[in-house]
Every structure is written in structure tokens, then in C-alpha cells.
Amino acid sequence: MTLVVKIGGAVASESADRILGLHEDGHAVVVVHGAGLQITEEMQVRGIPVEFVGGRRHTTAEALEIVRESLRAVNRDLCSRLGDLAVPVFGDSAGLLAEHMPALGRVGNPLPCRPQPILDALAAGRVPVVAPLGVGPLNVNADDAAAALAVGLGAQRLLFLTDVPGLLVDGRLVASIRADEATRMLDADEFEGGIVPKLRAAVQAAVRGVNAEIGETAVLG
């Protein structure tokens, strides 16, 4: 079974044991990581404005270099924790396709695809660790990148490992939510913060046949 596991930069180091456990259970594991907190902190240090539109970071050419530096640091740390199994993959050089969104600067909307370096790593029994940059290069949201890769690779599951237990509705953790209901609630602005891009990405994967889970919450197609 092929799994795509998306982890945020805030929980990357704590996720290594879970990833190794999935691999030891016989799964083919693809990891996609973010570096959102690291990018924001470094932009603030350098006096570069931080702006988000619909969960995507407005990215100038200058900011894109910070994005790459931050992703490289998280990727290096995570690969170190995973050991010899890990294969670092940077999406822009690997062939992660994305549709340019000029209104957001150097930002792209990732498209379902099957980058060869990821396939090669899986064929060798290793774990590709993907930094979410699109061909261009373009900055892409890590949640969206994970969903696009899950669909493109024909993965059976997409797991979002986060620092929250799952999806909270009226303060209560829900075990599952249908994609159409999630979309309705998203469009009605019933959620805010980091759960929004995760849930939208999970919905995109679920309606295309990938079992998506955010923490303990299953998103059903």
C-alpha cells in the first residue's frame, strides 16, 4: 500500500518514529513536509511582509529564496532522523508540476503527477522526503502538494500528521466528515487557521478516491 504522509514543519522531528513505523509495517511511504513557521520567522527577521491569501503565502522572488532555505533545513533534519532510508527530494528539480498563480507572485497550484525521483526511491524500498516546490520554481502549499502527489501516485491513503488531534466541529473532535459537508462548511467560513488548507486538500484527495485522514478524522469522498 502506498501512503502519502504530510507533516508540518512544527512537528517534523516528532513524526520520524511514526513514518519509520509505517515503513516497517510494509507500506511504501512518501513524506511531504512544510516549513511554515520557519519561513514566517525568517521573513520577519529580514523585514519582509508576511501575507496569506486563501491559505497560500504571497511569495516574491526574495521570499522564495527564504522558502527554499527553510525547506532545505527542515528536509535535512527530517532525513537525518529517518536515517539511510530517507531520500531528499526537491519538487522543482524532481518534476512536481504546478499551475502558476501570478496574483500570488511565485506561487503555484500543484497538479497530480508522478515525479520520477519519487518512483525511483519507492522502487528501491526507501522513503522520499519531498520539499514542496513546483517546477518554475514556484512555492506550493504543502497540504496541496501532498494531495496532488497522493492522487498522481495512486496512493491508497493520505495522512496529515499535525499538532491537533483532528477536525473539531463545535469544539468536538469528529471521527469522520463527508467531502460535500466539509466543502459546505469551508465555503461558509466555519473553520479558520491551519485546518482550512488541510481540509480543502483532504477533500480534493477524497473525491478522487484517496482515503484522507487529518489526525483522527477521516474525510470521506
Handedness of CA 118, 10, 178, 132 (dihedral sign): negative
Determine the pLDDT at residue 52: 87
Closest to 57 measured CA to CA, from 109, 131, 95: 109
Residue 113 is placed in which grid cell? 503527477
Arithmetic mean of pLDDT, 191-205: 93
**pLDDT tens sequence across 89-137:** 999 999 999 999 999 999 999 999 999 999 999 999 999 999 999 999 9
Determine the pLDDT at residue 220: 95
DSSP codes joined into one string, 61-109:
HHHHHHHHHHHHHHHHHHHHHHGGGEEEEEHHHHT--EEE-GGGBSBEE
Instruction: Output the CA angle 71-207-28, nearest 5 degrees.
Output: 50
Instruction: Output the CA angle 21-111-116, nearest 5 degrees.
Output: 60
Phi, psi of 12 (to 5 degrees): -60, -50
Domains, the chain, ranges and CATH?
2-220 (3.40.1160.10)
- Helix pair angle (142-153, 116-123), 10° resolution: 70
Asked if residues 110 and 145 have their Cβ atoms less than 8 Å apart, the reply is yes
- Minimum mean pLDDT among 1-15, 121-135, 163-177, 203-217: which range? 1-15
The residues, ordered by sequence, that sit 6+ positions from 144 with a Cβ below 8 Å of its Cβ are 109, 110, 197, 200, 201, 204
Determine the pLDDT at residue 163: 82
> Alpha-carbon distance 179 to 177, whole Å?
6
Going across the sheet that includes 211-214, the strands are: 86-90, 127-131, 28-33, 2-7, 157-161, 211-214, 217-220, 176-178
Kindly tell me if the per-residue pLDDT of 194 is higher than 90.
no
Confidence of residue 47 (pLDDT cuts 50, 70, 90): very high
Determine the pLDDT at residue 10: 66
Asked if residues 70 and 39 have their Cβ atoms less than 8 Å apart, the reply is yes
Determine the pLDDT at residue 9: 63
